[in-house]
Structure formats: structure tokens, C-alpha cells
Amino acid sequence: MNDIVLHVDSTDGSAAIANLSKFIEAPDLTSYAVRSETGALTTGTWTSFADTGAAGQGWREANPTANHLAELNLESASSLTNGTLIHLGNIFSPGAAQDLLFEYTTLAGELLRGTVQYGFIPTPTDCNSDGQVNAADLTCVSDVAERDMVLAALNTLAGDLDGDGNVAFSDFLTLSANFNDPTKTGYAEGNIDLQNGVAFADFLVLSTNFNKTPEPLAVAVPEPSTLGPLWIASLAFLRRGRRLMILEI
């Protein structure tokens, strides 16, 4: 999904805001709102940015109700780099109408509409704990599901051992150097299927994808919101500080 996404698990009501696509410029988030015309939101089990500090300091809740949850940052902004996923707790009433709308503002003064996706909440594989999913995580993925999530974030194929976006001769050299070595068990060492060390099965995967790259994905530009009631945010640079003003229209 080439967008900032609000993931919602409709079975338990949990939700998270995520940027899991490398095809959008990471926005500097200054506010967000989740809205429901039917009152499908829950406020008591919402864990906001202000509650957890997961998006940095300066976040403030803005009058949560069953129809809208919103936060704004009067002090700074939070950069949603690729691989970022921030949990919001349980904000959706299971069984309620799936009518949520998700909007956010950026430091550039944009009011944008993100995507709401119902289903399981993905878990970015940041196994080296550097704060994002990147090529470095290929050195520590532990199973094929984790491997594929990192490869998808990098828009590359199995066999790209160094995560540079291409299955190339350098990857073949790595695999061949470690072939049949039982101590080489990591994906980046050539154990592509993460089973039984570096073996012929791994060579077959690499050879199948050699010199191939995934089909380019269309870059999705978030739509400017046309929804008027409740709130609209604009940024103003005042003196040396930045302030975010919420205007009712």
C-alpha cells in the first residue's frame, strides 16, 4: 500500500498508523484524526501518541469522542519514515460499521487523506532495532515471512542478499562462497529459504530471480481531503517557533 495507512483489526478493535511503503516521501506528521459518522470509535482503550510517547514529544489529544479521535503537535513534528508503525490501542468497536476516515496534516501545511485498511495489523521486521525496516534487517530475519516483509519494503526479490534492489552477481558470489557451509545460516549469507544452511535450493531461487527486479509500483499521491466539518489544520510559522492551529469551518 503506497500511502500512510490506518490499519484496523476489526475483530479486536486494535489499530495502528503505519508507513510501510518506500514509494512515498516520509511525511512530517503534525496532526491526525480518525472519524466515524456512526460512532464506531472507542475512547477508553485508545492509547494516543500523547499516552505512549511513541511519536515523540509535544502531542496533545483533542476532545476524543465516539465520532472522532484526534491529536496535534504544537511543538514539532514526527517523521513517519519507511518501516514506521505506531500502535493506537483499541479504537474500533468490533462489529460496528466500517466507516472510518483517516486524515493527517504535515509540516508543509498539507491536509491529506490516508488509507484505512481493515484486517490484521502487520508487524514491521526491525530485527536490528534501528527504528525502520531496511537492508540491514536482512542480516537478522529468522523466517520466510519476516524475510518477505523486508524484501517487500525494499521492493526487491528473494536472492537479493545485500538489499540493493537487484539480484546480481555480487549476491551469487556471496552464496557460492558460503555454499555447503553449515555455519552460514543467515539470509544475507546465502541461506535464502532460511532452512538447512546454504544449499542447492537457495541457488535455484537466486538463479530464478537473477537480474530481475519487481514491476515498478505506481506512486500513490494522498488525496487532499474534501471533508469540512469537525476540523481542518493549517500551519503557521510564528517567530522562531511553529504552532499548529485547528480551525472550525
Cell numbers representing residue 132 in the block:
525502520
Asked if residue 174 and residue 72 are part of one domain, the reply reads no
User: Which residue segment(s) compose the domain that 200 sits in?
Assistant: 156-209
Q: Using an 8 Å Cβ cutoff, are 16 and 39 in contact?
A: no
Q: Using an 8 Å Cβ cutoff, are 59 and 70 in contact?
A: no
Asked if residue 171 and residue 51 are part of one domain, the reply reads no
40 in a structural domain: yes
Asked if residue 233 and residue 184 are part of one domain, the reply reads no
Distance CA 86, CA 247 (A): 26
16 in a structural domain: yes
pTM of the predicted model over 0.85 = no
Place of cell 505512549: 52
Asked if residue 168 and residue 57 are part of one domain, the reply reads no
Extended beta strands in 99-207, E state: 101-106, 111-113, 115-118
Asked if residue 182 and residue 70 are part of one domain, the reply reads no
Distance CA 6, CA 89 (A): 12
Distance CA 206, CA 137 (A): 19
Q: Using an 8 Å Cβ cutoff, are 17 and 86 in contact?
A: yes
pLDDT value, residue 3: 79
Distance CA 84, CA 7 (A): 12
Asked if residue 89 and residue 36 are part of one domain, the reply reads yes
Distance CA 73, CA 140 (A): 35
Asked if residue 22 and residue 55 are part of one domain, the reply reads yes
139 in a structural domain: no
225 in a structural domain: yes
Amino acid at 85: L
pLDDT value, residue 145: 77
Asked if residue 180 and residue 234 are part of one domain, the reply reads no
The answer for residues whose C-beta is within 8 angstroms of residue 208's C-beta and 6 or more apart is: 159
Extended beta strands in the chain, E state: 5-8, 14-19, 28-35, 59-61, 68-73, 78-79, 84-90, 101-106, 111-113, 115-118, 223-224, 232-238, 241-247
pLDDT value, residue 26: 80
pLDDT value, residue 149: 81
Task: Cite the DSSP H helix spans in 160-199.
Answer: 169-178
Amino acid at 47: T
134 in a structural domain: no
pLDDT value, residue 39: 98
**How many domains are there within the chain?**
2
Q: What is the CATH number of the domain that holds 204?
A: 1.10.1330
Asked if residue 223 and residue 204 are part of one domain, the reply reads no
Asked if residue 103 and residue 80 are part of one domain, the reply reads yes
Q: pLDDT tens per residue, the chain (249 residues)?
A: 557 999 999 999 999 998 876 557 788 999 999 999 999 999 999 999 999 998 999 999 999 999 999 999 989 999 888 778 899 999 999 999 999 999 999 999 999 999 999 998 876 677 776 667 789 999 988 888 788 888 988 889 999 999 999 999 999 999 999 999 989 999 999 999 999 899 999 999 999 999 987 765 444 444 444 444 333 333 332 223 343 333 333
